[in-house]
């Protein structure tokens, strides 16, 4: 940028011919210096280089949706642009590839809205065959389902009911998923409910949200039974498999919780 102290005068001595300066080395030498004693040629070169960098950056950003890029840069630094590019590639794949292998399992789906009108995403841990599924396709299906939803506020209900070690994906994969998903997923997630957690689940949740996903730590809530969800989600908006309600009744009994609607 041009220094503010470098000003152009309106009195340009127009009566002086440009040819009058030819052969006047002292005038040329003086004219080649600004008030700080810097070479005008080097100043011009530096200015051109800066302008070119600005143009290159503008061209780079113009090819992407501004909101997504800016949010990523703010939240993750310069790596946000690379993450956005990677996510957009995965989103394009998710829209064209056959993901029926994953969608047919029924472990991940939208189930109505909560008391504040926010979409509820249900994930049934028991139905997720982590050891016998293409995890890349699982990620693509997750992106295909959630991308149009996470543009606004949303909540997730994860049911850990009757899961086993065969349902647990590796921490490496979970970290990969978390790093791929852009800022809007974390920002617009308002609550993550874990129903029927075990000691292992609580420990892993603490570790994951402390060291890998601190941005969502305050949004995670462990609930001992389904009816605890009714404070945030009405019963008619929560569609869950029968095995979950049967386990819940066998473990907690009938009507063990009187929900009080809250605004969170």
pLDDT in tens, 76-122: 555 668 888 999 999 999 999 999 999 999 999 999 999 999 999 99
Structure confidence at residue 64 as a pLDDT band (50, 70, 90):
very low
Q: What is the CATH number of the domain that holds 202?
A: 3.40.525.10
Pair 142, 202 in one domain? yes
Do 218 and 122 belong together in one domain?
A: yes
Residue 5 lies in a domain: no
Nearest alpha-carbon partner for 191 in 87, 263, 252, 109: 263
Clarify whether residues 40 and 154 are in a common domain: no
Co-location of 224 and 148 in the same domain: yes
In a domain, 217, yes or no: yes
Full residue range of the structural domain in which residue 134 is found: 85-252
Same domain, 45 and 149: no
Q: What is the pTM of this model?
A: 0.68
Judge if 42 and 163 occupy the same domain.
no
Distance between CA atoms of 200 and 205, rounded to whole angstroms? 8
In a domain, 75, yes or no: no
- Into how many domains does the chain fold? 2
> Are 139 and 40 found together in one domain?
no
Please provide the average confidence, as pLDDT, over all residues in the chain: 79
Do 153 and 35 lie in one domain? The reply is no
Is residue 237 included in any domain, yes or no? yes
The pLDDT value given to residue 223:
96
Looking at residue 211, its pLDDT comes to 86
261 in a domain, yes or no? no
Q: Do both 51 and 145 map to the same domain? A: no
Is position 80 within any domain? Answer: no
68 occurs within a structural domain? no
Which has the closest alpha carbon to 238: 114, 142, 124?
A: 114
pLDDT level of residue 229 (50, 70, 90 thresholds): very high
Domain-located, residue 16: no
35/138 same-domain check: no
Higher pLDDT, 34 or 193: 193
Q: Within this chain, do residues 183 and 95 fall inside the same structural domain, yes or no?
A: yes
Do 191 and 222 have their domain in common? yes
């Amino acid at each position: 940028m041009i220094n503010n102290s470098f000003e152009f005068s309106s009195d340009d001595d127009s009566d002086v011919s440009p040819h009058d300066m030819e052969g006047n080395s002292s005038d040329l030498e003086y004219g080649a210096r600004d008030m700080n004693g810097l070479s005008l040629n080097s100043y011009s070169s530096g200015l051109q280089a800066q302008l070119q960098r600005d143009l290159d950056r503008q061209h780079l950003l113009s090819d992407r949706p501004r909101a997504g890029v800016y949010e990523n840069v703010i939240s993750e630094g310069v790596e946000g642009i690379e993450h956005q590019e990677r996510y957009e590639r995965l989103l394009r794949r998710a829209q064209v590839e056959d993901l029926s292998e994953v969608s047919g399992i029924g472990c991940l789906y939208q189930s109505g809205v909560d008391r504040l009108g926010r979409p509820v995403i249900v994930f049934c841990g028991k139905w997720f065959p982590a050891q016998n599924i293409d995890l890349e396709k699982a990620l693509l299906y997750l992106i295909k389902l959630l991308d149009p939803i996470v543009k606004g506020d949303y909540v997730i209900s994860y049911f850990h009911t009757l899961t086993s070690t065969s349902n647990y994906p590796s921490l490496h994969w979970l970290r990969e998923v978390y790093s791929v998903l852009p800022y809007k997923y974390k920002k617009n997630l308002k609550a993550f409910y874990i129903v029927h957690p075990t000691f292992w689940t609580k420990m892993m949740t603490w570790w994951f949200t402390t060291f890998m996903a601190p941005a969502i730590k305050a949004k995670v809530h462990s609930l001992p039974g389904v009816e605890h969800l009714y404070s945030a989600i009405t019963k008619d908006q929560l569609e869950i498999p029968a095995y979950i309600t049967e386990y819940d009744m066998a473990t907690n009994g009938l009507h063990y919780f009187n929900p009080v609607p809250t605004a969170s």
